[in-house]
Structure 1
Amino acid sequence: MGFYIRVEQTVNLYVEDLGPKDGQPILFIHGWPVNHKMFEYQYNQLPKKGYRCIGVDLRGFGKSDQPWEGYTYNRFADDIRAVVDALQLKNFILVGFSMGGAIAIRYMARHLGHQVSKLALFGAAAPVFTKRPDFPYGMAKEDVNKLIKETYRDRPKMLSDFGDIFFARCVTESFKNWFHGLGLEASGHGTAMSAIALRDEDLRGDLSKINVPTAIFHGVQDKVCPFELAEAMHAGIKGSELIPFHYSGHGLFYCELEKFNSELVQFIT
Protein backbone atom coordinates (compact mmCIF):
# COMPACT_ATOMS: atom_id res chain seq x y z
CA MET A 1 0.00 0.00 0.00
CA GLY A 2 1.44 3.38 -1.01
CA PHE A 3 0.58 6.74 0.58
CA TYR A 4 2.07 10.12 1.45
CA ILE A 5 3.24 11.50 4.79
CA ARG A 6 3.73 15.23 5.32
CA VAL A 7 7.16 15.98 6.83
CA GLU A 8 7.10 19.75 6.30
CA GLN A 9 4.29 22.12 5.42
CA THR A 10 5.10 21.88 1.71
CA VAL A 11 6.92 18.51 1.56
CA ASN A 12 5.30 15.08 1.40
CA LEU A 13 7.18 11.79 1.25
CA TYR A 14 5.94 8.71 -0.55
CA VAL A 15 5.84 5.60 1.64
CA GLU A 16 5.21 1.97 0.69
CA ASP A 17 3.98 -0.31 3.50
CA LEU A 18 4.20 -4.03 2.70
CA GLY A 19 3.52 -7.16 4.68
CA PRO A 20 1.52 -7.93 7.82
CA LYS A 21 0.71 -4.83 9.86
CA ASP A 22 1.38 -6.71 13.09
CA GLY A 23 4.76 -7.94 11.87
CA GLN A 24 8.14 -6.69 13.06
CA PRO A 25 8.59 -3.37 11.19
CA ILE A 26 11.68 -2.76 9.07
CA LEU A 27 12.16 0.78 7.73
CA PHE A 28 14.30 0.92 4.58
CA ILE A 29 16.26 4.05 3.54
CA HIS A 30 17.45 3.89 -0.06
CA GLY A 31 20.71 5.13 -1.51
CA TRP A 32 21.74 7.85 -3.93
CA PRO A 33 20.42 8.42 -6.56
CA VAL A 34 17.56 5.88 -6.65
CA ASN A 35 14.45 5.28 -4.48
CA HIS A 36 12.74 2.73 -2.26
CA LYS A 37 12.15 0.34 -5.18
CA MET A 38 15.84 -0.64 -5.12
CA PHE A 39 14.85 -3.06 -2.31
CA GLU A 40 12.38 -4.96 -4.51
CA TYR A 41 14.21 -8.24 -3.98
CA GLN A 42 13.95 -7.86 -0.21
CA TYR A 43 10.30 -6.74 -0.28
CA ASN A 44 9.53 -9.89 -2.29
CA GLN A 45 10.78 -12.19 0.47
CA LEU A 46 10.68 -10.62 3.93
CA PRO A 47 6.87 -10.19 4.19
CA LYS A 48 6.57 -13.96 3.56
CA LYS A 49 8.50 -14.42 6.80
CA GLY A 50 6.16 -12.15 8.73
CA TYR A 51 8.07 -8.86 8.49
CA ARG A 52 6.43 -5.52 7.78
CA CYS A 53 8.56 -3.67 5.21
CA ILE A 54 8.30 0.12 5.04
CA GLY A 55 10.05 1.80 2.12
CA VAL A 56 10.46 5.56 2.02
CA ASP A 57 11.35 7.75 -0.96
CA LEU A 58 13.61 10.49 0.36
CA ARG A 59 12.73 14.06 -0.59
CA GLY A 60 13.75 14.69 -4.18
CA PHE A 61 13.63 11.01 -5.11
CA GLY A 62 11.06 8.59 -6.46
CA LYS A 63 7.48 9.71 -5.93
CA SER A 64 8.24 12.09 -3.06
CA ASP A 65 8.03 15.86 -3.40
CA GLN A 66 11.02 17.60 -4.91
CA PRO A 67 11.67 20.81 -2.96
CA TRP A 68 14.49 23.15 -3.87
CA GLU A 69 16.06 22.95 -0.41
CA GLY A 70 16.51 20.53 2.46
CA TYR A 71 19.10 18.06 1.18
CA THR A 72 21.21 17.75 4.32
CA TYR A 73 21.65 14.73 6.55
CA ASN A 74 19.94 16.57 9.41
CA ARG A 75 16.86 17.32 7.32
CA PHE A 76 16.77 13.79 5.87
CA ALA A 77 16.99 12.38 9.42
CA ASP A 78 14.20 14.69 10.56
CA ASP A 79 12.08 13.49 7.64
CA ILE A 80 12.60 9.89 8.77
CA ARG A 81 11.59 10.86 12.31
CA ALA A 82 8.39 12.38 10.92
CA VAL A 83 7.60 9.10 9.13
CA VAL A 84 8.34 7.05 12.26
CA ASP A 85 6.05 9.22 14.35
CA ALA A 86 3.26 9.33 11.76
CA LEU A 87 3.22 5.53 11.54
CA GLN A 88 3.68 5.23 15.32
CA LEU A 89 6.49 2.74 14.82
CA LYS A 90 7.92 1.10 17.91
CA ASN A 91 10.77 -1.35 18.30
CA PHE A 92 11.52 -1.16 14.58
CA ILE A 93 14.60 -2.18 12.62
CA LEU A 94 16.27 0.64 10.71
CA VAL A 95 18.21 -0.26 7.58
CA GLY A 96 20.00 2.02 5.15
CA PHE A 97 21.98 1.59 1.96
CA SER A 98 24.83 3.89 0.88
CA MET A 99 23.64 7.48 1.51
CA GLY A 100 20.65 5.91 3.26
CA GLY A 101 23.09 4.26 5.65
CA ALA A 102 24.63 7.65 6.38
CA ILE A 103 21.17 9.10 7.03
CA ALA A 104 20.37 6.17 9.32
CA ILE A 105 23.50 6.92 11.36
CA ARG A 106 22.55 10.60 11.60
CA TYR A 107 19.04 9.57 12.71
CA MET A 108 20.53 7.43 15.48
CA ALA A 109 22.68 10.31 16.72
CA ARG A 110 20.30 13.23 16.19
CA HIS A 111 17.16 11.49 17.43
CA LEU A 112 18.85 9.29 20.03
CA GLY A 113 17.85 6.11 18.21
CA HIS A 114 14.16 6.92 18.68
CA GLN A 115 12.21 3.60 18.73
CA VAL A 116 15.00 1.69 16.89
CA SER A 117 15.76 -1.80 18.19
CA LYS A 118 18.42 -2.79 15.63
CA LEU A 119 20.40 -1.03 12.89
CA ALA A 120 21.69 -2.53 9.63
CA LEU A 121 24.02 -0.59 7.34
CA PHE A 122 24.46 -1.75 3.74
CA GLY A 123 27.44 -0.35 1.82
CA ALA A 124 27.00 2.77 3.92
CA ALA A 125 28.55 6.06 2.75
CA ALA A 126 30.01 6.57 6.21
CA PRO A 127 31.64 7.66 8.37
CA VAL A 128 32.98 9.96 5.63
CA PHE A 129 32.24 9.50 1.93
CA THR A 130 35.16 11.57 0.63
CA LYS A 131 38.85 11.64 1.45
CA ARG A 132 40.09 14.13 4.06
CA PRO A 133 43.58 14.98 5.30
CA ASP A 134 42.85 12.80 8.36
CA PHE A 135 40.79 10.17 6.49
CA PRO A 136 42.49 8.72 3.40
CA TYR A 137 39.59 6.53 2.22
CA GLY A 138 36.59 7.12 -0.03
CA MET A 139 36.06 9.11 -3.19
CA ALA A 140 38.13 12.15 -4.03
CA LYS A 141 36.12 15.35 -3.66
CA GLU A 142 37.05 16.18 -7.25
CA ASP A 143 35.28 13.02 -8.43
CA VAL A 144 32.11 13.96 -6.55
CA ASN A 145 32.32 17.47 -8.03
CA LYS A 146 32.41 15.81 -11.45
CA LEU A 147 29.28 13.82 -10.61
CA ILE A 148 27.52 17.04 -9.59
CA LYS A 149 28.63 18.82 -12.75
CA GLU A 150 27.51 15.92 -14.93
CA THR A 151 24.17 15.76 -13.11
CA TYR A 152 23.41 19.28 -14.29
CA ARG A 153 24.88 18.71 -17.76
CA ASP A 154 23.81 15.17 -18.78
CA ARG A 155 22.15 13.29 -15.94
CA PRO A 156 21.28 10.15 -17.95
CA LYS A 157 24.94 9.70 -18.90
CA MET A 158 26.07 10.38 -15.31
CA LEU A 159 23.69 7.69 -14.08
CA SER A 160 24.90 5.26 -16.72
CA ASP A 161 28.56 5.88 -15.89
CA PHE A 162 27.88 5.58 -12.17
CA GLY A 163 26.02 2.33 -12.78
CA ASP A 164 29.09 0.88 -14.50
CA ILE A 165 31.00 0.83 -11.19
CA PHE A 166 28.03 -0.18 -9.05
CA PHE A 167 27.90 -3.96 -9.43
CA ALA A 168 30.98 -6.18 -9.18
CA ARG A 169 29.33 -9.21 -10.73
CA CYS A 170 27.66 -9.33 -14.09
CA VAL A 171 24.06 -8.21 -14.18
CA THR A 172 21.81 -8.37 -17.21
CA GLU A 173 21.34 -5.34 -19.43
CA SER A 174 17.66 -5.46 -18.52
CA PHE A 175 18.50 -5.18 -14.82
CA LYS A 176 20.94 -2.33 -15.45
CA ASN A 177 18.28 -0.52 -17.45
CA TRP A 178 15.76 -0.98 -14.64
CA PHE A 179 18.19 0.32 -12.04
CA HIS A 180 19.13 3.24 -14.30
CA GLY A 181 15.44 4.08 -14.55
CA LEU A 182 15.16 4.40 -10.78
CA GLY A 183 17.75 7.16 -10.89
CA LEU A 184 15.90 8.95 -13.67
CA GLU A 185 12.80 9.20 -11.44
CA ALA A 186 14.65 11.58 -9.13
CA SER A 187 14.83 15.35 -9.25
CA GLY A 188 18.00 16.47 -11.04
CA HIS A 189 18.53 19.28 -8.56
CA GLY A 190 17.81 17.00 -5.60
CA THR A 191 20.31 14.49 -6.99
CA ALA A 192 23.00 17.17 -7.20
CA MET A 193 22.27 18.66 -3.79
CA SER A 194 22.37 15.23 -2.16
CA ALA A 195 25.74 14.62 -3.78
CA ILE A 196 26.94 17.82 -2.09
CA ALA A 197 25.83 16.35 1.25
CA LEU A 198 27.69 13.13 0.44
CA ARG A 199 30.79 15.16 -0.36
CA ASP A 200 30.74 17.42 2.69
CA GLU A 201 29.06 15.65 5.62
CA ASP A 202 31.09 13.94 8.37
CA LEU A 203 29.58 11.27 10.62
CA ARG A 204 32.63 10.35 12.66
CA GLY A 205 31.21 12.06 15.73
CA ASP A 206 27.91 10.19 15.36
CA LEU A 207 29.19 6.63 15.55
CA SER A 208 29.74 6.52 19.31
CA LYS A 209 26.12 7.55 19.89
CA ILE A 210 24.76 4.32 18.41
CA ASN A 211 23.76 1.94 21.21
CA VAL A 212 21.65 -0.76 19.54
CA PRO A 213 22.81 -4.02 17.92
CA THR A 214 24.33 -3.01 14.57
CA ALA A 215 25.27 -5.07 11.53
CA ILE A 216 27.51 -3.67 8.81
CA PHE A 217 27.04 -5.38 5.42
CA HIS A 218 29.70 -4.32 2.91
CA GLY A 219 31.06 -5.50 -0.42
CA VAL A 220 34.79 -6.20 -0.36
CA GLN A 221 35.01 -5.08 -4.01
CA ASP A 222 33.02 -1.87 -3.48
CA LYS A 223 34.34 0.91 -5.75
CA VAL A 224 31.90 3.56 -4.50
CA CYS A 225 32.27 3.13 -0.73
CA PRO A 226 35.50 1.15 -0.28
CA PHE A 227 35.66 -1.59 2.33
CA GLU A 228 37.86 0.57 4.54
CA LEU A 229 34.73 2.61 5.32
CA ALA A 230 33.10 -0.52 6.75
CA GLU A 231 36.16 -1.17 8.90
CA ALA A 232 36.05 2.41 10.19
CA MET A 233 32.35 2.07 11.06
CA HIS A 234 33.00 -1.26 12.77
CA ALA A 235 35.73 0.34 14.87
CA GLY A 236 33.53 3.32 15.77
CA ILE A 237 30.24 1.56 16.59
CA LYS A 238 30.56 -0.32 19.86
CA GLY A 239 29.64 -3.99 19.62
CA SER A 240 28.90 -3.85 15.88
CA GLU A 241 29.16 -6.87 13.61
CA LEU A 242 30.96 -6.60 10.26
CA ILE A 243 29.70 -8.96 7.55
CA PRO A 244 31.89 -8.89 4.42
CA PHE A 245 30.49 -9.79 1.01
CA HIS A 246 33.56 -11.04 -0.80
CA TYR A 247 32.04 -11.19 -4.29
CA SER A 248 30.13 -7.91 -4.16
CA GLY A 249 30.71 -4.36 -5.21
CA HIS A 250 28.50 -1.52 -4.01
CA GLY A 251 25.30 -3.31 -5.05
CA LEU A 252 25.69 -6.14 -2.54
CA PHE A 253 21.91 -6.33 -2.10
CA TYR A 254 21.81 -7.90 -5.58
CA CYS A 255 25.37 -9.10 -6.28
CA GLU A 256 24.98 -11.75 -3.55
CA LEU A 257 21.22 -11.67 -3.23
CA GLU A 258 20.68 -14.99 -1.46
CA LYS A 259 23.46 -14.39 1.06
CA PHE A 260 22.25 -10.82 1.62
CA ASN A 261 18.68 -11.85 2.40
CA SER A 262 19.82 -14.76 4.52
CA GLU A 263 22.22 -12.68 6.60
CA LEU A 264 19.60 -9.96 7.01
CA VAL A 265 16.98 -12.42 8.31
CA GLN A 266 19.54 -13.93 10.65
CA PHE A 267 20.41 -10.51 12.06
CA ILE A 268 16.87 -9.24 12.52
CA THR A 269 15.43 -12.47 13.94
Structure 2
Amino acid sequence: MEHWIRVEPNVKVYVNDLNPLGNKTLLFIHGWPANHQMFEYQYNQLVPMGYRCIGMDMRGFGRSDKPLGGYDYNRLADDIRCVIGALGLHNITLGGHSTGGAVAIRYMARHKGHGVSKLALFASAAPSLIQRPGFPYGTTREAIEQIIQSTYKDRPKMLHDFGDIFFYQPVSQPFSDWFFLLGLEAASWSTIAVSNAWMAEELFNDLPRIQVPTLILHGVHDQVCFFPLAEAQHQGIKNSVLIPFEDSGHGLFYDERDRFNRELARFAG
Protein backbone atom coordinates (compact mmCIF):
# COMPACT_ATOMS: atom_id res chain seq x y z
CA MET A 1 0.00 0.00 0.00
CA GLU A 2 1.44 3.34 -1.06
CA HIS A 3 1.02 6.63 0.80
CA TRP A 4 2.14 10.20 0.27
CA ILE A 5 2.10 11.74 3.73
CA ARG A 6 2.14 15.50 4.23
CA VAL A 7 4.93 16.56 6.57
CA GLU A 8 4.81 20.31 5.84
CA PRO A 9 2.19 22.41 4.03
CA ASN A 10 3.98 21.95 0.70
CA VAL A 11 5.97 18.77 1.32
CA LYS A 12 4.85 15.14 1.13
CA VAL A 13 6.97 12.04 1.67
CA TYR A 14 6.46 8.67 0.02
CA VAL A 15 5.79 5.60 2.15
CA ASN A 16 5.49 2.00 0.97
CA ASP A 17 3.54 -0.06 3.52
CA LEU A 18 4.00 -3.77 2.89
CA ASN A 19 1.76 -6.28 4.64
CA PRO A 20 -0.26 -3.77 6.70
CA LEU A 21 -1.88 -6.62 8.64
CA GLY A 22 1.45 -8.07 9.77
CA ASN A 23 1.95 -8.99 13.41
CA LYS A 24 5.09 -6.92 14.05
CA THR A 25 5.94 -3.60 12.39
CA LEU A 26 9.32 -2.35 11.21
CA LEU A 27 9.78 1.17 9.85
CA PHE A 28 12.91 1.44 7.70
CA ILE A 29 14.81 4.72 7.24
CA HIS A 30 17.28 4.51 4.37
CA GLY A 31 20.76 5.94 4.08
CA TRP A 32 22.16 8.62 1.79
CA PRO A 33 21.85 8.87 -1.19
CA ALA A 34 19.44 5.98 -1.80
CA ASN A 35 15.78 5.42 -0.87
CA HIS A 36 13.58 2.77 0.73
CA GLN A 37 14.17 0.36 -2.17
CA MET A 38 17.62 -0.40 -0.75
CA PHE A 39 15.84 -2.68 1.76
CA GLU A 40 14.14 -4.89 -0.83
CA TYR A 41 16.27 -7.85 0.29
CA GLN A 42 14.82 -7.38 3.76
CA TYR A 43 11.23 -7.02 2.54
CA ASN A 44 11.54 -10.21 0.50
CA GLN A 45 12.35 -12.28 3.58
CA LEU A 46 10.60 -10.48 6.43
CA VAL A 47 7.18 -9.98 4.84
CA PRO A 48 6.65 -13.73 4.22
CA MET A 49 7.59 -14.26 7.88
CA GLY A 50 4.58 -12.14 8.87
CA TYR A 51 6.26 -8.78 9.47
CA ARG A 52 4.77 -5.48 8.40
CA CYS A 53 7.59 -3.62 6.64
CA ILE A 54 7.21 0.11 6.02
CA GLY A 55 9.75 1.85 3.81
CA MET A 56 9.90 5.64 3.89
CA ASP A 57 11.70 7.82 1.36
CA MET A 58 13.22 10.79 3.17
CA ARG A 59 12.41 14.18 1.69
CA GLY A 60 14.63 14.89 -1.29
CA PHE A 61 15.12 11.19 -2.08
CA GLY A 62 13.28 8.49 -3.99
CA ARG A 63 9.66 9.34 -4.72
CA SER A 64 9.25 11.93 -1.96
CA ASP A 65 8.95 15.64 -2.65
CA LYS A 66 12.25 17.41 -3.07
CA PRO A 67 12.08 20.86 -1.43
CA LEU A 68 15.10 23.11 -1.41
CA GLY A 69 15.35 23.08 2.39
CA GLY A 70 14.67 21.05 5.51
CA TYR A 71 17.59 18.62 5.53
CA ASP A 72 18.87 19.05 9.08
CA TYR A 73 18.38 16.10 11.41
CA ASN A 74 15.65 17.83 13.44
CA ARG A 75 13.43 18.35 10.40
CA LEU A 76 14.10 14.85 9.07
CA ALA A 77 13.21 13.43 12.50
CA ASP A 78 10.03 15.51 12.49
CA ASP A 79 9.14 13.94 9.14
CA ILE A 80 9.36 10.51 10.77
CA ARG A 81 7.05 11.75 13.52
CA CYS A 82 4.53 12.82 10.88
CA VAL A 83 4.63 9.37 9.25
CA ILE A 84 4.24 7.54 12.56
CA GLY A 85 1.33 9.81 13.47
CA ALA A 86 -0.40 9.57 10.09
CA LEU A 87 -0.24 5.77 10.06
CA GLY A 88 -1.12 5.47 13.75
CA LEU A 89 1.94 3.36 14.46
CA HIS A 90 2.79 2.12 17.94
CA ASN A 91 5.02 -0.55 19.46
CA ILE A 92 7.19 -0.63 16.33
CA THR A 93 10.84 -1.33 15.61
CA LEU A 94 12.46 1.72 14.03
CA GLY A 95 15.42 0.80 11.86
CA GLY A 96 17.85 3.14 10.16
CA HIS A 97 20.88 2.70 7.90
CA SER A 98 23.80 5.17 7.90
CA THR A 99 22.32 8.69 7.83
CA GLY A 100 18.92 7.08 8.38
CA GLY A 101 20.28 5.60 11.59
CA ALA A 102 21.50 9.00 12.73
CA VAL A 103 18.09 10.53 12.01
CA ALA A 104 16.42 7.65 13.87
CA ILE A 105 18.59 8.42 16.90
CA ARG A 106 17.59 12.08 16.70
CA TYR A 107 13.94 11.00 16.47
CA MET A 108 14.26 8.93 19.64
CA ALA A 109 15.77 11.84 21.54
CA ARG A 110 13.69 14.66 20.08
CA HIS A 111 10.32 12.88 20.14
CA LYS A 112 10.97 10.69 23.18
CA GLY A 113 10.67 7.56 21.07
CA HIS A 114 6.98 8.13 20.35
CA GLY A 115 5.46 4.90 19.01
CA VAL A 116 8.78 3.03 19.08
CA SER A 117 9.48 0.08 21.38
CA LYS A 118 12.77 -1.04 19.79
CA LEU A 119 15.53 0.68 17.81
CA ALA A 120 17.78 -0.99 15.23
CA LEU A 121 20.85 0.78 13.86
CA PHE A 122 22.59 -0.45 10.71
CA ALA A 123 26.02 1.04 9.93
CA SER A 124 24.78 4.26 11.48
CA ALA A 125 26.47 7.63 11.00
CA ALA A 126 26.52 8.35 14.72
CA PRO A 127 27.49 9.86 17.06
CA SER A 128 29.40 11.83 14.40
CA LEU A 129 30.27 10.92 10.84
CA ILE A 130 33.30 13.20 10.90
CA GLN A 131 36.21 13.53 13.30
CA ARG A 132 35.76 16.06 16.09
CA PRO A 133 37.83 17.16 19.09
CA GLY A 134 37.89 14.18 21.43
CA PHE A 135 36.36 11.93 18.76
CA PRO A 136 38.96 10.81 16.21
CA TYR A 137 36.99 7.89 14.80
CA GLY A 138 35.04 9.45 11.95
CA THR A 139 36.07 10.40 8.45
CA THR A 140 37.70 13.74 7.75
CA ARG A 141 35.89 16.97 7.05
CA GLU A 142 37.99 17.20 3.89
CA ALA A 143 36.58 13.89 2.62
CA ILE A 144 33.02 15.17 2.99
CA GLU A 145 33.91 18.46 1.32
CA GLN A 146 35.30 16.44 -1.57
CA ILE A 147 31.99 14.55 -1.89
CA ILE A 148 30.13 17.86 -1.99
CA GLN A 149 32.42 19.33 -4.64
CA SER A 150 32.20 16.13 -6.68
CA THR A 151 28.40 16.33 -6.51
CA TYR A 152 28.49 19.86 -7.88
CA LYS A 153 30.93 18.84 -10.62
CA ASP A 154 29.80 15.36 -11.71
CA ARG A 155 27.12 13.76 -9.55
CA PRO A 156 26.93 10.48 -11.52
CA LYS A 157 30.68 9.93 -11.07
CA MET A 158 30.42 10.75 -7.36
CA LEU A 159 27.65 8.16 -7.00
CA HIS A 160 29.63 5.61 -8.96
CA ASP A 161 32.72 6.14 -6.78
CA PHE A 162 30.64 5.93 -3.61
CA GLY A 163 29.14 2.64 -4.79
CA ASP A 164 32.65 1.24 -5.23
CA ILE A 165 33.37 1.49 -1.47
CA PHE A 166 29.87 0.63 -0.26
CA PHE A 167 29.93 -3.17 -0.32
CA TYR A 168 32.62 -5.52 0.96
CA GLN A 169 31.43 -8.60 -0.89
CA PRO A 170 31.63 -8.60 -4.70
CA VAL A 171 28.41 -7.52 -6.41
CA SER A 172 27.38 -8.04 -10.01
CA GLN A 173 27.53 -5.22 -12.51
CA PRO A 174 23.73 -5.21 -12.89
CA PHE A 175 23.38 -4.92 -9.11
CA SER A 176 25.90 -2.09 -9.05
CA ASP A 177 23.95 -0.34 -11.82
CA TRP A 178 20.71 -0.73 -9.85
CA PHE A 179 22.23 0.72 -6.71
CA PHE A 180 23.67 3.62 -8.71
CA LEU A 181 20.21 4.42 -10.08
CA LEU A 182 18.79 4.66 -6.55
CA GLY A 183 21.16 7.55 -5.90
CA LEU A 184 20.23 9.25 -9.16
CA GLU A 185 16.58 9.35 -8.04
CA ALA A 186 17.54 11.91 -5.37
CA ALA A 187 17.70 15.60 -6.12
CA SER A 188 21.17 17.05 -6.45
CA TRP A 189 20.39 19.75 -3.87
CA SER A 190 19.17 17.27 -1.26
CA THR A 191 22.24 15.11 -1.89
CA ILE A 192 24.41 18.15 -1.16
CA ALA A 193 22.31 19.39 1.76
CA VAL A 194 22.52 16.11 3.66
CA SER A 195 26.27 16.03 3.04
CA ASN A 196 26.50 19.46 4.64
CA ALA A 197 24.41 18.20 7.56
CA TRP A 198 27.02 15.53 8.29
CA MET A 199 29.49 18.26 9.16
CA ALA A 200 27.06 20.19 11.35
CA GLU A 201 25.29 17.37 13.18
CA GLU A 202 26.47 15.36 16.15
CA LEU A 203 24.52 13.00 18.40
CA PHE A 204 26.64 12.61 21.52
CA ASN A 205 23.87 14.05 23.71
CA ASP A 206 21.15 12.06 21.93
CA LEU A 207 22.52 8.60 22.67
CA PRO A 208 21.93 8.63 26.46
CA ARG A 209 18.30 9.69 25.90
CA ILE A 210 17.40 6.44 24.14
CA GLN A 211 15.34 4.36 26.54
CA VAL A 212 14.38 1.33 24.43
CA PRO A 213 16.26 -1.89 23.59
CA THR A 214 18.65 -1.14 20.75
CA LEU A 215 20.29 -3.47 18.24
CA ILE A 216 23.49 -2.25 16.56
CA LEU A 217 24.55 -4.10 13.40
CA HIS A 218 27.77 -2.87 11.81
CA GLY A 219 30.23 -4.18 9.24
CA VAL A 220 33.80 -4.50 10.47
CA HIS A 221 35.09 -3.42 7.03
CA ASP A 222 32.83 -0.36 6.72
CA GLN A 223 34.70 2.32 4.76
CA VAL A 224 32.00 4.98 5.21
CA CYS A 225 30.97 4.75 8.86
CA PHE A 226 34.00 3.16 10.47
CA PHE A 227 33.44 0.38 12.99
CA PRO A 228 34.53 2.48 16.02
CA LEU A 229 31.34 4.50 15.48
CA ALA A 230 29.36 1.37 16.35
CA GLU A 231 31.42 0.91 19.50
CA ALA A 232 30.70 4.52 20.48
CA GLN A 233 26.98 3.95 19.90
CA HIS A 234 27.10 0.83 22.07
CA GLN A 235 28.87 2.73 24.82
CA GLY A 236 26.44 5.65 24.65
CA ILE A 237 23.15 3.69 24.51
CA LYS A 238 22.72 1.90 27.80
CA ASN A 239 20.34 -0.87 26.70
CA SER A 240 22.12 -1.83 23.48
CA VAL A 241 23.64 -4.90 21.88
CA LEU A 242 26.40 -4.63 19.26
CA ILE A 243 26.78 -7.40 16.69
CA PRO A 244 29.84 -7.05 14.42
CA PHE A 245 29.49 -8.33 10.86
CA GLU A 246 32.92 -9.73 10.05
CA ASP A 247 32.32 -10.10 6.31
CA SER A 248 30.55 -6.81 5.61
CA GLY A 249 31.25 -3.24 4.66
CA HIS A 250 28.80 -0.35 4.73
CA GLY A 251 26.18 -2.35 2.84
CA LEU A 252 25.84 -5.12 5.39
CA PHE A 253 22.14 -5.44 4.59
CA TYR A 254 23.29 -7.02 1.31
CA ASP A 255 26.83 -8.24 2.10
CA GLU A 256 25.47 -10.66 4.72
CA ARG A 257 21.78 -10.32 4.06
CA ASP A 258 20.71 -13.73 5.42
CA ARG A 259 22.44 -13.15 8.75
CA PHE A 260 21.28 -9.53 8.81
CA ASN A 261 17.66 -10.58 8.30
CA ARG A 262 17.89 -13.31 10.96
CA GLU A 263 19.27 -10.91 13.55
CA LEU A 264 16.72 -8.23 12.72
CA ALA A 265 13.79 -10.67 12.73
CA ARG A 266 14.89 -12.14 16.06
CA PHE A 267 15.19 -8.67 17.58
CA ALA A 268 11.90 -7.31 16.22
CA GLY A 269 9.89 -10.44 16.95
Tell me the TM-score range normalised by the shorter chain.
Answer: over 0.9
Contact 2:12–2:65 (Cα < 8 Å) also in 1: yes
Aligned residue number for residue 245 of structure 1:
245
For residues 257 and 263 of structure 1, what CA distance do their matches in structure 2 show? 10
103-112 vs 128-137, greater mean Cα deviation: 128-137
Aligned residue number for residue 224 of structure 1:
224
Aligned residues between the structures: 269
Contact 1:152–1:189 (Cα < 8 Å) also in 2: no
Unaligned runs of 5+ in 2: none
Aligned residue number for residue 201 of structure 1:
201
Contact 1:234–1:242 (Cα < 8 Å) also in 2: yes
- SS in structure 2 of the partner of residue 147 of structure 1: helix
TM-score for the superposition, normalised by structure 1: 0.99
The CA deviation string for residues 50-95 of structure 1, in whole angstroms up to 9 with x for no partner, is 1111100000000000000000000000000000000000111100
Aligned residue number for residue 179 of structure 1:
179
Q: Shift of residue 115 of structure 1?
A: 1.1
| 1:140-179 equivalent positions in 2, closer than 5 A | 140-179=140-179
- SS in structure 2 of the partner of residue 48 of structure 1: coil
For residues 132 and 89 of structure 1, what CA distance do their matches in structure 2 show? 36
- SS in structure 2 of the partner of residue 52 of structure 1: strand
Aligned residue number for residue 72 of structure 1:
72
For residues 111 and 256 of structure 1, what CA distance do their matches in structure 2 show? 32
Contact 2:24–2:268 (Cα < 8 Å) also in 1: no
For residues 150 and 228 of structure 2, what CA distance do their matches in structure 1 show? 27
For residues 20 and 148 of structure 1, what CA distance do their matches in structure 2 show? 38
What percent of counterpart residues are identical? 59
Aligned residue number for residue 130 of structure 2:
130
Q: CA RMSD in A?
A: 0.7
22 and 266 in structure 1: CA distance in 2 versus 1, 3 angstrom threshold: closer
- SS in structure 1 of the partner of residue 47 of structure 2: helix
Following superposition, which runs of at least 4 residues in structure 1 exceed 4 angstroms of deviation? none
148-157 vs 94-103, greater mean Cα deviation: 148-157
For residues 103 and 58 of structure 1, what CA distance do their matches in structure 2 show? 10
Q: Shift of residue 22 of structure 1?
A: 4.4
- SS in structure 2 of the partner of residue 135 of structure 1: coil
- SS in structure 2 of the partner of residue 66 of structure 1: coil
Letter matched to residue 211 of structure 2: N
For residues 268 and 75 of structure 1, what CA distance do their matches in structure 2 show? 26
For residues 54 and 249 of structure 1, what CA distance do their matches in structure 2 show? 24
Q: Shift of residue 21 of structure 1?
A: 2.1
Q: Shift of residue 3 of structure 1?
A: 1.9
The CA deviation string for residues 166-189 of structure 1, in whole angstroms up to 9 with x for no partner, is 011111111111000000000000
| 1:1-269 equivalent positions in 2, closer than 5 A | 1-269=1-269
- SS in structure 2 of the partner of residue 217 of structure 1: strand
- SS in structure 1 of the partner of residue 144 of structure 2: helix
Letter matched to residue 174 of structure 2: S
For residues 22 and 183 of structure 1, what CA distance do their matches in structure 2 show? 30
Q: Shift of residue 2 of structure 1?
A: 1.5
Unaligned runs of 5+ in 1: none
Contact 2:13–2:58 (Cα < 8 Å) also in 1: yes
- SS in structure 1 of the partner of residue 242 of structure 2: strand
Contact 1:78–1:107 (Cα < 8 Å) also in 2: yes
TM-score for the superposition, normalised by structure 2: 0.99
